[in-house]
């Protein structure tokens, strides 16, 4: 009856959940995007790591590089000084502008897909 809220994950857990390879997860650690702890040799991932991974993969789907995702993760931990925070605000605005452009792109592309579909269906009639 005790609500079981998972609080730590193995590398295999995360790989399965997000459908990536363990190599990928270790790579992200090499790049400084994840910081799992160790139980002996073995990596143990926290909820923060899991969230970071989620951010990275969502970023990927939007065409962001790992460097850009690194920024996104930074925005999650406000452990910075004034100058850093102001730089962060700048990055936030940049990201937001990029997202807006992507929204426009998606709209246009959806319309074009509609037209393309119509043309296809017309030819198949």
Residues near a second copy, by CB under 8 A: 58, 60-64, 72, 75-76, 78, 80, 82, 85-86, 88-89, 92, 95-96, 99, 101-103, 105-106, 108-110, 112-113, 116-117, 119-121, 123-124
DSSP state of 38: E
Q: In the complex, which residues of this chain contact DNA (CB under 7 A)?
A: 10-13, 15, 21-24, 26-27, 31, 40-43, 60, 65-67
Binding site partner of 120, from DNA, a second copy, none, Cβ cut-off 5-8 A by kind: a second copy
> What is the smallest separation between the CB atom of 42 and DNA, expressed in angstroms?
4
- Per DSSP, the residues of 7-68 read -EE-HHHHHHHHT--HHHHHHHHHTTS---EEETTEEEEEHHHHHHHHHHHHHHHTT--HHH
> What is the smallest separation between the CB atom of 16 and DNA, expressed in angstroms?
9
What order do you get walking across the sheet with 37-39 strand by strand?
A: 8-9, 42-46, 37-39
């Amino acid at each position: 009856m005790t609500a079981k809220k998972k609080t730590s994950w193995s590398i295999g857990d995360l790989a399965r959940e997000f459908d990536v390879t363990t190599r990928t997860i270790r790579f992200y650690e090499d790049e400084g995007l994840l910081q799992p702890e160790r139980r002996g040799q073995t990596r143990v991932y926290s909820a923060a790591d899991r969230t970071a991974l989620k951010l990275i993969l969502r970023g990927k789907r939007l065409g962001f590089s790992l460097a850009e995702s690194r920024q996104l993760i930074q925005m999650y931990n406000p452990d910075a000084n004034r100058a850093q925070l102001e730089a962060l605000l700048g990055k936030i605005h940049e990201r937001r502008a990029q997202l807006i452009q992507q929204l426009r792109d998606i709209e246009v592309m959806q319309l074009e897909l509609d037209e393309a579909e119509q043309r296809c269906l017309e030819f198949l009639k």
